[in-house]
Every structure is written in C-alpha cells, then in structure tokens.
Chains A and B, each alone.
Chain A
Amino acid sequence: MPLYHDDDQAMLADTARQFMAEEGSIAKQLRHWRDRDCKDGFGHGLWEQFAEMGFTGMLVGEDDGGLGMGHVEAGIVLEEIGRNLTPSPFLSSSVLAATALAGGDKAAREKWLPGLISGEHVYTVAIDEGAKHRPQRIAARAEKSGNGFKLSGKKDFVIHGASADMMIVAARTSGDDDDEDGITLFAVPKDAANMSHDSVRLVDSSMATHTIFDGVELDGDAVIGDVDGGRALLDRMLDAGRLGAAAEGVGVAGGAMDMTVDYLKQRKQFGKVIGEFQALQHRAAHLYSEVEIARAAVIKAQQLMDAGSEKASLMASVAKAKVSKTAGLAVREGVQMHGGIGMTDEYDIGLYMKRDRALAEFLGDANYHADRVASLSGY
C-alpha cells in the first residue's frame, strides 16, 4: 500500500481541513471555551456537528451502525484537530472507547455504540494510576460480588473524566499488580454510585480527573471483552489511542511550524525580514524535515494497524515517540522564533506549546515509547 492518502482519503482530508479550520478554529473553540472557563473543556455544539459529519462513528463497524473506516481516516480528522487545537472528545470517545467497545460482545455494543455514533454521549478511558503512563502495572481491583463486580481503586489523567457519560476502566480481577494476566475492562456509567472525581484543568485548558472508585457496584454485563483476559484488548485500545495522539501531534507540529514560517516571512528586524537570516532558515528547514519524517511514520503505523499487521505495535510506538520529539521541537522553536510576542497569551503559538505538552504525556511519552521499541525489538 503506497504511503499516501488514496482518493477517498484525500477527499476526506479536504473536507476535514476545511470544516475544522472554520468550525474548530482556535478563536471559535479553544479560546472561546477557555475564556468562559467551561467545565467540560469542549463545546457540545461542535461535537454535534462532528456527528452530523459522520466523524463520531468512523471507527465503529458498519454492522454496528458506524462507518467502518480505519485508523488512516481517524488520523486525518485528528491531524486537523491538532492543527486547530480543537478541544473535543474525538480521541477518547471515537478512537479509544470505540476500539475497546469493538472487542465487546453484541449486548455491550448495542448498549453503548448508538449514543457514541449519534454524538449524544461521549466516553473516555481510565488507565493510568500515577503521573506517568505505566499500563503494565494495574492495581485498581474489581472483586466478584453477586453476579457482578465491586470496583475499587484510583485512576489519574482521565480526560473528560467528569463530563463523560461512561468511562472504560482497566481493573484487575486476579493476580498481582504487575501481572500480564488478570486484567478486565469495565464500562462504568457516569451515574455509578461510590465514584468520585477530583476535576482539574490542565495546562492546555482541557479537563481531566483523578477518579476514585470506592466499591463501585457493576453488573456482569459491564465487562467489555473477557474477564481476566483483557490485556490484549487493552493493548489494542492503547495502540489505537497512541496512534491517534501521534496523528493529532503531527497536526500540532505542522500548525506550529506553519505559523512560525509565516512569521519569519513577515517580521522585520535589522531592515530585513528575519526569514532571511540563515541561522533561522536552517532551524526552520531542520524542523521541516523532522515533521516530514514524523508524518511518514504516522501513516505507516496507521496502515499497518488497519492491515492487522504484527508490526503495528512497534510502529505505533515509533510514531508516538517520533511525533512527541518532533512536535516538542516545533513548539519550542515556534515560541523562540516569535521572540517576545511568542510569550504573550494573545498569540496562538504558546497554545501550541501547551497542547503539545499534554499530548506528549498522554498514553506514554517519547522515552516510554522508545523503551517499548527496544523491548519489542528484543534488547
């Protein structure tokens, strides 16, 4: 498969680019909701538009009422989300939760997917139990209780945790905290008793929670996938999310780079536009090549994932690590090359820096994924 978008994908990219630039722009969405101190961190009106465009259920199979598209297509939407810093539950709901639900039985899919596709509901996932992504270790426990389970433990960095209508929680149903086996995924509805959120606004203005489960009672049908055998599904969901974060990161990097290159062509100092200074040209050109490389890694990983290749996990980590490094470079160079104005709230370049930091941390930073590349490669 060639490493570029086919005709249908290119058309989708045009549509997504135009739509997001108009409706998802920084002024209309990120700044708008931030300046109103919106508790959800995103606009529901835009989310309804996402549903009308068919974006919400892209990754849901056609049998379940979705569009049955792949990670390349989801990545196209995510790149435009990244370029416009559009706050939305697309990654948590339409990518992460959708991938997990795809591994659930028919009853679970029938229960949860229609709301996701229609945009009426948003979902999220609760994985991390600390400040760094470390899904190898899961301590939250779900004990058998009647014909259901009782869930206890704490989850951190739950994006949209307080506003999500349902969260998919990875918990341990047997074994020790570091065991591979013994993991089960549960669908926990918003109104579950004995669940509490400590809501925090993050540096990029998004909302996340520390969520505490204090004996949350769940029916047997809250289980997504297999009891005790959820690790594979968890990994699949995480890889989908990492790829999604990588695609969004390429958008962030590209958006920051474009803004910076434009600025270099306009700003005059010493009687010249500063883009004439070779010291800046070389850094911009270096950044460009890094962004190109990151973009190629992302589409390769997406295609492998869609093809069900055994190399998909390795390349998902390559993509996430490469993009984290590259987008980090793009925002640092962006702020620096904007000079003093780059430090002001009024200019958007700083917003890119904030979003990048949050994305870089989400589902594993560059070091985490480089380490995973080494492990998966046998060293």
Chain B
Amino acid sequence: MADLETFRSETRDWLEANCPPEMRAPVRDERDVYWGGRNASFKNDAQKAWFEACRDKGYTVPAWPKEYGGAGLSPAEAKVLREEMGAIGARPPLSSFGIWMLGPALLKFGTEEQKVHYLGQIARGEIRWCQGYSEPGSGSDLVSLQTFGEDAGDHWVVNGQKVWTSYADQADWIFCLVRTDKSDKYQGITFMLFDMESDGISTKPILLISGNSPFCETFFDDVKVPKGQFVGEVNRGWDVAKYLLGHEREMISGADGGDRTSAIGAAMARHSNEHAGELDPLLRAELAMFDVDALAYACMGEKFLDEIKVGKAHPAQPNTMKYAGTELNKRRHELMMATGGSRSLEWDSKDTDGGTPARSWLRTKANSIEGGTSEIMLNVISKRILELPGA
C-alpha cells in the first residue's frame, strides 16, 4: 500500500511536469485525437510534447511489459495512473486500434517475434492499424464472411471486400479476417496482418450522418499476403477474433474503472441556463434520472475491472458493459441536445465549434452498432450468462 502511495505521488509529479495545460482539456471529437502512424502529424506542439513524454515513459500502453514498449505497471498501478490522469483531465496521448484491439490479441496469441516487432511499433505510435472484419453480407453474422485467401505457396492471394473499415484510408496496416477454408464455417478463418500499401488494395470513403467520413469500403483484388503474417493458427482465426471483440466491446463501453462519483447533470443544467434559459422541471427530472443511471453504471465499470483482476468476472460480462454503456451514452447525448436547445442544432457555427453537439450526438448512434449491436449483446447475455436455450 505504501508503495502504491509513493507511486501515486511520483505519478502526480510526473504528470505535473509533463502534461501541458492544453492537453488537460476534454477531447472535443476526432479532431483532438492523435492516432500515430506513418503519415501522422501533430496538431500542435503540446500534443507532440505530451505524446513523446508518454511514449518515452511507456505510458502509451502502461500495462504492457517493458520489453514490448509498455511501462510494465501492475493492474493496481495502472489504475492509479488512470485515476491521476483523470483527476487533471489529461487526454490520452495516443489513440489506436493497435492499443485497444490488436495489442491484447497479440499479447495472448502472438509469437515472441510478433510481440517484439508489432507491439513495440504500436506502443511508439509508428504504425496505424485498421480492422477488417465486417463485409457487406456479414455484419452481425460475422462468421459468414466471404473474403477469401487462396494458398499460393509462400503467400496467400486475397480477394474480396470489407465494409465499415474505420479509417482504412488513413491506416498503414490492417488486421483482417480472411476465409482460408470454405468447408468449415468457424474453423476456416485466418487472422491476417498486412500492409495497406500492398498492391491490389483500394479504399472508398463512406460519409456518415454526422457529416464526417471516418470509414471506408475496402477492396482486395489479388492482394499478396506473405504466409508468415497471421496470428494464432491458420484456420483458427475465429478464436483470435472473438478475443479481440471482447476488448473492443470493453473499450466502446467506456469502462475506464475511474472512480466517477460526480453527476454530470450539473454541467448540462448550467449549459442550459446559459444558452437556453432556465432548465424546465421535466428536463431536470430527466437529467437527474440519467445521473442515477450513469453514476450506478460507473460503479459497475469499477466493479467489473476490480473483478477481472482477481478472475471473478464472468467472461461474457464485457457484453453487459457494452450494452448498458452504449445505450447510456446515446441517452446522454440526447439530453445534451435537449439542454442546448436550438443552439445545439447549429451545424457550422463558431459558437458550437463546428456543430460539435449535433455531430457528436449523431456519432453516438453508432455506439450500439459498432463492435456488435445491442441486440447481439443481448443474445450473448441471454445465452452465455443466463443460459437460456435456443440457437
């Protein structure tokens, strides 16, 4: 315990010295996020300084072992770091599908060589990854995917199409589910890693209702993928895929384990009073009930992470977090729109920083779709946790 307290005060000092004031403000949206990668550029000096300080300390991936670019923190220390960063409102230094999704899968299924090579690059923000799971005919029913990798000796030749590939046009590499055996639905998928600059890959952006275009259709036309570039075993990529989805769901659910015991309705109420006039009592009641749900949900996030550490959590519990967390986040943004009144409708004004409330509101609708829909979460909970019968 004393050690943890020392760690806490050292962390506090380090953050004080290294986290620039500009990086202690809430992330407005994707404009404020640093994703790393070959073509990355920093929005400003503060973002660069903050990223580099964290990278050098291993704080882009604090809980990963040191030899793979992390800081080797214990779960308790990682929690302290999260809490201390939360206390000053520090932005994440690096956002990355490599950190949230591929990294954990590599830590579990990768070879030593893959770990040293890829994890280090992820930790240092050198390679930006995208996720090639969904296909036009395979969304919720992911295992029906058709993109095919044909054995050509020392490489596969991949043909097919992916869809909803977030940031495919900006990513350097893709982790991808490819069918390598047509005779077995589950045991005929291989989890491949390959360079987006390979010949035969093209991407086409898809515009979202938020007016932004963070994702693409991705086409593979006779793409050569060297045989060594797979994770786990050939034809057993579904195991890796499922494991990774668990992490993706946790990430989307926003379970950060922080001790969130403050209501957020107060900020929305203030906002309403400033811009839309005095808060009406029914809206106040909705905010209050939202706070009840949000504060209680934060407790579940904390409990879940505490239980994971000691192996007490049900393995399907991330589905509960994802379901409840994303539905709650949508409700939160509905309320933010309502408290903002007509001001929150503005799509391009300086006042709203380019329509941030409206665009964020629209973006959150994807929370209960991406990474598996709410309906799929409920299916998993009823089958794996409640053990209800049926297909």
Contact = CB atoms under 8 A, between A and B. Distances in A.
Given A282-B375, A314-B261, A379-B269, A265 B306 contact: no
Interface string A339-379: 00000000000000000000000000011011101101111
Given A4-B312, A261-B388, A367-B285, A374 B265 contact: yes
A297 B265 contact: no
B279 A379 contact: yes
A336 interface: no
A311 B388 CA distance: 39
Given A4-B312, A276-B388, A281 B295 contact: no
Interface residues of A, number: 49
Nearest to A294: B296
Contacts of A314: 261, 263, 295
B291 interface: yes
A373 B388 contact: no
B293 interface: yes
Contacts of B297: 293
A275 B379 CA distance: 12
Contact of A378 (B266, B279, B323): B266
A300 interface: yes
Nearest to B257: A3
Interface in A109-164: none
Contacts of A295: 303
Nearest to A264: B388
Contacts of B312: 4
Contacts of B25: none
B292 A300 contact: no
Contact of A289 (B310, B323, B383): B323
A278 B295 CA distance: 30
B263 to A, nearest CB: 4
B52 interface: no
B295 A315 contact: yes
A3 B378 contact: no
B385 A288 contact: yes
A276 B389 contact: yes
A292 to B, nearest CB: 6
A252 interface: no
A288 B263 contact: no
B389 A3 contact: no
A101 interface: no
A296 interface: yes
B299 A379 contact: no
B307 interface: yes
B388 A275 contact: yes
A74 to B, nearest CB: 18
A327 interface: no
Interface in B267-307: 269-270, 279, 284-285, 287-289, 291-293, 295-297, 299-300, 302-304, 306-307
B49 interface: no
A370 B303 contact: no
Given A4-B312, A276-B390, A311-B261, A370 B285 contact: yes
A325 B292 CA distance: 10
Contact of A318 (B284, B292, B385): B292
B320 interface: yes
Nearest to B320: A289
Contacts of B289: 321, 366, 370
A322 B291 contact: no
Contacts of A265: 387-389
Given A285-B381, A289-B320, A373 B390 contact: no
Contacts of A373: 263, 265, 288, 291-292, 295
B303 A3 contact: yes
B183 interface: no
Contact of B390 (A275, A294, A377): A275
Nearest to B323: A289
A379 B266 contact: yes
A137 B360 CA distance: 43
Interface string B28-49: 0000000000000000000000
B300 A292 contact: yes
B317 to A, nearest CB: 8
Give the most central of B262, B291, B299, B378: most A CB within 10 Å. B299
A299 B279 contact: no
A38 interface: no
Contacts of B209: none
A284 interface: yes
A284 B377 CA distance: 12
A32 interface: no
A296 B270 contact: no
A285 B296 contact: no
Contacts of A277: 390
The residue in A319, A321, A367, A374 that gathers the most chain B C-beta atoms within 10 A of its C-beta is: A374
A367 B390 CA distance: 39
Given A2-B306, A281-B378, A293 B292 contact: no
A44 interface: no
A377 B382 contact: no
A288 B265 contact: no
B324 interface: yes
Nearest to A371: B288
A376 B266 CA distance: 10
A371 B285 CA distance: 7
A286 interface: yes
B2 interface: no
Contacts of B320: 288-289, 292
A273 interface: yes
A151 B386 CA distance: 54
Interface string A168-179: 000000000000
Given A275-B390, A319-B296, A370 B291 contact: yes
Nearest to A304: B261
A293 B270 contact: no
A374 B287 contact: yes
A325 B293 CA distance: 10
A261 B386 contact: yes
Contacts of B295: 297, 314-315, 318, 373
A288 B292 CA distance: 18
Contact of B270 (A3, A286, A319, A379): A379
B306 A285 contact: no
Contacts of B262: 377
B375 A377 contact: no
B296 A318 contact: yes
18 contacts: A4-B310, A275-B382, A281-B386, A285-B323, A289-B324, A292-B300, A293-B296, A293-B300, A299-B303, A300-B299, A304-B261, A315-B261, A318-B291, A371-B285, A373-B292, A376-B263, A377-B263, A379-B266
Given A315-B261, A319-B296, A325-B292, 8 more contacts: A4-B310, A275-B390, A281-B383, A317-B292, A321-B289, A366-B289, A374-B263, A377-B291
